[in-house]
Structure 1
Amino acid sequence: MSYPETRRVDQVDKLFGEKIEDPYRWLENDVRSDAEVASWVAAQNRVTDAYLATLPGRAIFKERLRTLIDYERFGLPTKKGGRYFYTHNSGVQNQSVLYVRDSLDGAGRVLIDPNGWAADGATALSEWVPSENGRLIAYGIQDGGTDWRTLKVLDVATGKPLDDEVKWAKFTAISWAHNGSGFFYSRFPEPEQGAAFQALNLNHALYFHKIGTPQSADIKVYSTPDKPKQSHVGQVTDDGKWLVITTSEGTDNRYEITLIDLTDSRMRPRTLVRGLENSWELAGNIGSTFYFVTDKDASRGRIVAMDAAASTDRLREVVPQDEATLQGAKITGGKLMASYLVDAKTEVRRYTLNGARDGAVALPGIGTASGFGGDQDDPETFFAFTSFATPTTIYRYDVRTGQATPWQTPKVAFDPNAYDVAQRFYGSKDGTRVPMFLVRKKGTTGPAPTLLYGYGGFNSSVLPSFSSSRLAWLEQGGVLAVANIRGGGEYGKAWHDGGRLANKQNVFDDFIAAAEDLIANGDTTKQQLVIQGGSNGGLLVGAVVNQRPDLFAAALPAVGVMDMLRFDRFTAGRYWVDDYGDPAKEADFKALRAYSPYHNIRKGKDYPAILATTADTDDRVVPGHTFKYVAALQAAKIGDKPHLVRIETRAGHGSGKPTDKVIEEYADLWAFSARWTGMEVKPVE
């Protein structure tokens, strides 16, 4: 292929005695303000678009994706003041719409429809939280996929917005004072002109906004100016008496907990848990007794109670650690509803507040359940259930009777019973037993074109979930494999620790072993195997392709962290040292240098076809990572297969992306993958 010419610069950094070339450093510049970068992006997109236009399956995938995604989708309801708030998408709306019902089975009415906010559909409704009495709702606006939020307030009865506006909120919760006077939120200082999408995020602070006042009058409730890397998020307890502040410094679940007694007008903070050593996630409180899910002395999690009024011996165990991994818990209807992972599948157990077993929630199958929120004294709650072949269904759950009844069941343009979902285990390089899900249409026999997906980082578990886009791949006789590799949270802290910092190579070994297992078992061949991952998963794909370019037909790294020696210099990158290590420390540098995708492209080896994807407004993993990586791929002698980049405009790291853009992107990805795996794409009857 003929790629656009990319200017090289003589940039060499000497790090710990090693000379590190960085000839594409200039591609780190912001595409909005650097004309040369903007020109490079346009040139790359022209080449990529021209190639994708030649793929015969593209139009078929696009048409089928639009059909498959065109079904009603509902979000979990939030109940406040007797009203039920929920999101709804009629099918192919670019953005979901926020509705409200005055009773459980009443007619819904539109509260906020973001579809008219931008001509390209790329401005989204993000966070939204109703006040306790259900009369007001605070909500976030996300423009073009950025992590920045503008917060506004709406009158629920009239549907009219108030004058209140809060800017520069980011990585925030919204938590109302119980009297409805205002809400707590988190923000960074306003960035300097032109630096909003690249500057490091420092000096996070917690504020209170009083309704009817300008943002300039907001009260700074909690900050740590002497520790600018710390972040702070506030949560008002269900009884309205306490503000629980969770402080973190990176991506690890290591927190400090600070309490503010909201019945005291002085709002003086006092530390309940100090040290940034363990995870502490609030499950609820009864008076001054707080229930937390923690990994303190329990790598797979346990539930403890802590008496804030006691001067000593505050901590007592309520639910001990189990063989399963505790994901979270919430006091609902007077019970502790605890969600566990058993080999990457959800199991929900009930406990009394004293820790006695009180049964389990009967789930509709093997998959993923989430929700069980609401006020802790209300026996009515809701949960969502999904699996690879089961679209998300919303259930109403009565804690008193233990009965779950469908509240909203989607009607879809396919037969879920036509698909097989299986789980098997394979051995990694060091003998570690790793689970992997396999999904295929009944009647599909191997070897077949196979999409292998992985993430492997930040304690994030990859669980069964429905995806219309993946279904379009499966319908064509493709196989989906999802490997639950180390670095995630499927088996608790030890599983996470086994795939980070100096152990990061285990993640790549696990993924390579998954590919080898698929081939050895006859599911696919090297000529039919595609690998995919996004963000940290994009790093995974980039690193694994460098290490085993012979193993794959195609690779789809999305919004990946590709320069492991400079990731900590942009926006949220500094948080990631918890998982990756610090490039400024010699031991960490050596580990990072060994697998950094940008620095380890193997010239002279035949690489698979690569279609990297990123977006111009990604201020989580700045697009310069992908720009530099693709420039290096195109300059290297790594075979004749295409090595392309698809750069979306007015989009970010993923959230808030309009449906139209999602359809276009996946039509391109699957058509590219079909071309290089030999899949014959046919219209679906």
Structure 2
Amino acid sequence: MHDISPDGPIAYPETARDDAIEELGGRRFADPWRWLEGDVRTDERVQAWVAAEVALTDSYLDTLPGRIAIRERLTKLWNYERVSLPRRRGGRYFFLRNSGLEAQAVLCAREAHDAPARVLIDPNDWSEDGATALGEWEPSDDGRRLAFTVQDGGSDWRVVRVLDAIGGDTLSDEVRWVKFSGLAWASNGSGFFYSRFPEPRAGMEHQAQNLDHAVYFHRLGTDQAADFQVYATPDRPRLIHTAEVSEDGHWLLISSAEGTEARTELTVIDLTAPKLAPKILVRGLENDWRLAGSKGDIFYFVTDLEAPRRRIVSIDVASEMRRRREIVPHGEDLVADALLVGDRLLVSVLRNVASELRIYNLDGRLMDTVVLPGIGAVTGMEGRGDSSEAFFAFTSYDRPTEIHRLDAGSAVALPYAQPQLQFDRDEYVVEQTSCTSKDGTVIPLFLLRRKDVTHAAPTLLYGYGGFEISLTPGFSSAALCWAAMGGVYAVANIRGGGEYGKAWHDAGRRASKQNVFDDFIAAAEHLKTEGVASGVVVHGHSNGGLLVAAVTNQRPDLFTAALPAVGVHDMTRFHRFTAGRYWIDDYGDPGKEEDLAVLMAYSPIHNIRDGADYPAILIATADTDDRVVPAHSFKYAAALQAANIGPKPHLIRIETRAGHGAGKPTAKQIDEIADLWAFAAKWSGLAA
């Protein structure tokens, strides 16, 4: 144990430097902590470094008096029933349920929408630490079988199993090396389509680049070695393929993409033909195409083709001409999602970052607008083309996710599953405001606070700003906890996201990435000058972790603390690990001189300002994160601790048997937030 004070200087573990040199874009520069890229599961040198850092961080966190009280408050706020959207197959309804504090959600079924629930799969029995999770799942069309994936320790890798949904037995089928895959049943229930990579070299499962994705068909009762490869692109090994089966079982639709940007190719296969022959439906990685549903040979897509805020078109997949017909035209509001339900299109749109839910007929005429519970976000929809019954999920910053049952014909929506609140909603207020960025762009902001907090208060500012991901209003026990403590929780809808469509995304990626940081800095400045924030703590995950680290380098004077979680911190080598190469769409290619110049201007590891007074920093990562490998955070922590950046703590929290976030047990989520919030409260002056 370390004998340390929360206010005193910290003696960091000594981190060895090596003489590694990175050569990119005609440039050579030192990479002294390259050795920290070793696999933490097998590299003894990295393991020793991690153990020393964990001991130091744990000792520091143990000195924070508010940590226990925050954990208790979080546990209370987390303890409410959570139910997912039901999927109806063969008259049976399948859904996930967590009673509140279970480590993992339980998969249940009902024989009718209002019938009692019975448990099908309880992953809480799968491991002692609760870190083995149920991943993707899909019932067969008749509701008699259910394919599901097992995720262990937070890894992106999945193992597919099959359940008898009537008898409850798990079948002998097992499919491995599945990643970034959907599950799509053949209409007769004989088996399912899935996507996988080749088996990686031993010891490189969590670091090697992911190449040669392919779609396979697994026939029930057979060994995986007999699975049939349905579609692959060996001439383009970087493509990712996902497969969907049309509701009538006639067509297999394969969507292919090379990176994270929404640019897809579409391929169809006639499953009734004697030979499965792929035919290109949409060629070229130029536009976004998302299936809303199909009626026979007519497929309905949400696309940004000639529509930066998206529109809905139909395509006759049986026609050699592949004719497209516009159904819902491009408009002022962003088309976020669409679903074919009965003979209606249920369309979720974003207007100024809040949802509206509209119903159109198949000719594109607006039939009705669904009355939503308030200002918030529709976060998912479920339904089928053979019935007007649909379900949608709705949430806001002060409203835990609710499930509503909708008749798409009449537009009548009734509550289906509403959590019992562990707080008084009337005690809180949600506001939307805005700030102006460096170049004059108006940036929306959401604020959550207690009604009695009318003075400047410690403010936690969250952001993401990438990959066309929209930060819509959504409930978070963590956010509510900060507000309950008397702070303000703020979310900035900065560029790089998808809140206003393609142009908003393009304005925050590649050569325009600095706009993202400028927007976030402007939001923090606005919160302080407008008297909302007495001090600002910045927080973000993944690309948001990069955001937090970059703005901390650029404006260390602006923040009281920084919490970068599972972030991308070495912008010269992100493309060398697992799925990192997909991010080139947003970041650029480090191997190209013009892109490297942009990346090096903000790469967190390479822009730490020696001699500046930095805020307190608590980095968060996990040992099994094979999305953003933990080496990013390890190297960033080593660089911070080696720099002359002031006396405040610059620590790293490393979770074990956890990954990028998915599948993390409830207790581990609560513990992590309690640690982060206690650290932030200490340095922002917020009482627990």
Does the alignment reach a TM-score above 0.5?
yes
One-letter amino acid of the counterpart of residue 549, structure 1: P
Residue 48 of structure 1 aligns with which residue? 57
Residue 655 of structure 1 aligns with which residue? 662
Residue 268 of structure 1 aligns with which residue? 277
What per-residue deviation string (whole Å, max 9, x for no partner) do you get for residues 130-184 of structure 1? 0000000000000000000000000011111000000010000001011000000
What CA distance in whole angstroms lies between the structure 2 residues aligned with 1:15 and 1:318? Answer: 47
**2:166 aligned with 1:167:** no
Residue 262 of structure 2 aligns with which residue? 253
1:509 alignment partner, SS class = helix
What CA distance in whole angstroms lies between the structure 2 residues aligned with 1:415 and 1:373? Answer: 30
What CA distance in whole angstroms lies between the structure 1 residues aligned with 2:475 and 2:511? Answer: 34
2:601 alignment partner, SS class = helix
Residue 6 of structure 2 aligns with which residue? none
Deviation of 1:18 after TM superposition, in Å, equals: 3.6
**2:571 aligned with 1:567:** no
One-letter amino acid of the counterpart of residue 199, structure 1: A
What CA distance in whole angstroms lies between the structure 2 residues aligned with 1:165 and 1:335? Answer: 38
One-letter amino acid of the counterpart of residue 425, structure 2: P
TM-score, normalised via structure 1 length: 0.98
Residue 7 of structure 2 aligns with which residue? none
> Which residue among 636, 645, 655 is the counterpart of 2:643?
636
Contact 1:82 1:102 in 2 (8 A): yes
Residue 600 of structure 1 aligns with which residue? 607
Structure 1 window deviating more from structure 2 (281-290 vs 162-171): it is: 281-290
2:383 alignment partner, SS class = coil
What per-residue deviation string (whole Å, max 9, x for no partner) do you get for residues 358-404 of structure 1? 11111110001133322112111111111000011111111122111
> Which residue among 421, 438, 446 is the counterpart of 1:437?
446
> Which residue among 130, 137, 143 is the counterpart of 1:121?
130
What CA distance in whole angstroms lies between the structure 1 residues aligned with 2:414 and 2:352? Answer: 26
**Structure 1 residues not aligned, in runs of 5+:** none
Alignment length (residue pairs)? 679
The residue correspondences of 1:149-160 to structure 2 (distance < 5 A) are 149-160=158-169
What CA distance in whole angstroms lies between the structure 1 residues aligned with 2:568 and 2:16? Answer: 22
Deviation of 1:228 after TM superposition, in Å, equals: 0.4
Name the CA shift for 1:402/1:276 in 2 (closer, same or farther; >3 Å). Answer: same
Residue 201 of structure 1 aligns with which residue? 210
What CA distance in whole angstroms lies between the structure 2 residues aligned with 1:605 and 1:445? Answer: 33
What per-residue deviation string (whole Å, max 9, x for no partner) do you get for residues 318-349 of structure 1? 11101011112111121011111111111111
Deviation of 1:17 after TM superposition, in Å, equals: 4.6
Contact 1:332 1:372 in 2 (8 A): no
The residue correspondences of 1:484-523 to structure 2 (distance < 5 A) are 484-523=493-532
1:607 alignment partner, SS class = coil
Contact 2:193 2:243 in 1 (8 A): yes
What CA distance in whole angstroms lies between the structure 2 residues aligned with 1:371 and 1:143? Answer: 26
Structure 1 window deviating more from structure 2 (367-376 vs 216-225): it is: 367-376
**2:683 aligned with 1:676:** yes
Residue 298 of structure 2 aligns with which residue? 289
**2:607 aligned with 1:609:** no
Deviation of 1:313 after TM superposition, in Å, equals: 6.8
Deviation of 1:103 after TM superposition, in Å, equals: 1.3
What per-residue deviation string (whole Å, max 9, x for no partner) do you get for residues 33-68 of structure 1? 100101111100000000000001000001111111
> Which residue among 222, 237, 250 is the counterpart of 2:246?
237
What CA distance in whole angstroms lies between the structure 2 residues aligned with 1:451 and 1:72? Answer: 26
What CA distance in whole angstroms lies between the structure 2 residues aligned with 1:111 and 1:310? Answer: 42
**2:34 aligned with 1:21:** no
What CA distance in whole angstroms lies between the structure 1 residues aligned with 2:382 and 2:116? Answer: 22
What's the RMSD between the two structures over aligned residues? 0.9
**2:456 aligned with 1:447:** yes
What CA distance in whole angstroms lies between the structure 1 residues aligned with 2:643 and 2:297? Answer: 63
What CA distance in whole angstroms lies between the structure 1 residues aligned with 2:300 and 2:480? Answer: 41
Deviation of 1:446 after TM superposition, in Å, equals: 2.3
Deviation of 1:453 after TM superposition, in Å, equals: 0.3
Contact 2:24 2:592 in 1 (8 A): no
What CA distance in whole angstroms lies between the structure 2 residues aligned with 1:422 and 1:557? Answer: 25
Contact 1:258 1:272 in 2 (8 A): yes
Residue 462 of structure 1 aligns with which residue? 471
What CA distance in whole angstroms lies between the structure 1 residues aligned with 2:687 and 2:322? Answer: 66
Residue 400 of structure 1 aligns with which residue? 409
**2:472 aligned with 1:477:** no
> Which residue among 530, 533, 555 is the counterpart of 1:524?
533
Residue 326 of structure 1 aligns with which residue? 335
What CA distance in whole angstroms lies between the structure 2 residues aligned with 1:172 and 1:200? Answer: 17
One-letter amino acid of the counterpart of residue 334, structure 2: T
Structure 1 window deviating more from structure 2 (616-625 vs 283-292): it is: 283-292
Structure 1 window deviating more from structure 2 (84-93 vs 613-622): it is: 84-93
Contact 1:124 1:656 in 2 (8 A): yes
> Which residue among 582, 587, 592 is the counterpart of 2:589?
582
2:141 alignment partner, SS class = coil
Deviation of 1:268 after TM superposition, in Å, equals: 0.8
Identity of aligned residues (%): 59
What CA distance in whole angstroms lies between the structure 1 residues aligned with 2:230 and 2:523? Answer: 48
Structure 1 window deviating more from structure 2 (599-608 vs 412-421): it is: 412-421
Deviation of 1:422 after TM superposition, in Å, equals: 0.6
The residue correspondences of 1:22-421 to structure 2 (distance < 5 A) are 22-312=31-321, 314-421=323-430
What CA distance in whole angstroms lies between the structure 2 residues aligned with 1:286 and 1:68? Answer: 44
Deviation of 1:426 after TM superposition, in Å, equals: 1.2
Residue 536 of structure 1 aligns with which residue? 543
One-letter amino acid of the counterpart of residue 591, structure 2: A
**Structure 2 residues not aligned, in runs of 5+:** 1-9
Contact 2:359 2:411 in 1 (8 A): no
What per-residue deviation string (whole Å, max 9, x for no partner) do you get for residues 419-475 of structure 1? 100101211000001101011011102210100000000000001111112211111
What CA distance in whole angstroms lies between the structure 2 residues aligned with 1:18 and 1:175? Answer: 47
What CA distance in whole angstroms lies between the structure 2 residues aligned with 1:374 and 1:102? Answer: 16
Residue 632 of structure 2 aligns with which residue? 625
One-letter amino acid of the counterpart of residue 512, structure 2: N
Residue 666 of structure 1 aligns with which residue? 673
Contact 2:538 2:561 in 1 (8 A): yes
Structure 1 window deviating more from structure 2 (401-410 vs 559-568): it is: 401-410
Deviation of 1:305 after TM superposition, in Å, equals: 1.2
What per-residue deviation string (whole Å, max 9, x for no partner) do you get for residues 494-531 of structure 1? 00000000000000000000001001100113xx2100
What CA distance in whole angstroms lies between the structure 2 residues aligned with 1:249 and 1:16? Answer: 22
Structure 1 window deviating more from structure 2 (62-71 vs 588-597): it is: 62-71
Contact 1:178 1:240 in 2 (8 A): yes
One-letter amino acid of the counterpart of residue 116, structure 2: A
2:646 alignment partner, SS class = coil
Deviation of 1:629 after TM superposition, in Å, equals: 0.3
TM-score, normalised via structure 2 length: 0.98
What CA distance in whole angstroms lies between the structure 2 residues aligned with 1:441 and 1:473? Answer: 10
One-letter amino acid of the counterpart of residue 167, structure 2: T
2:174 alignment partner, SS class = strand
One-letter amino acid of the counterpart of residue 629, structure 2: V
2:171 alignment partner, SS class = strand
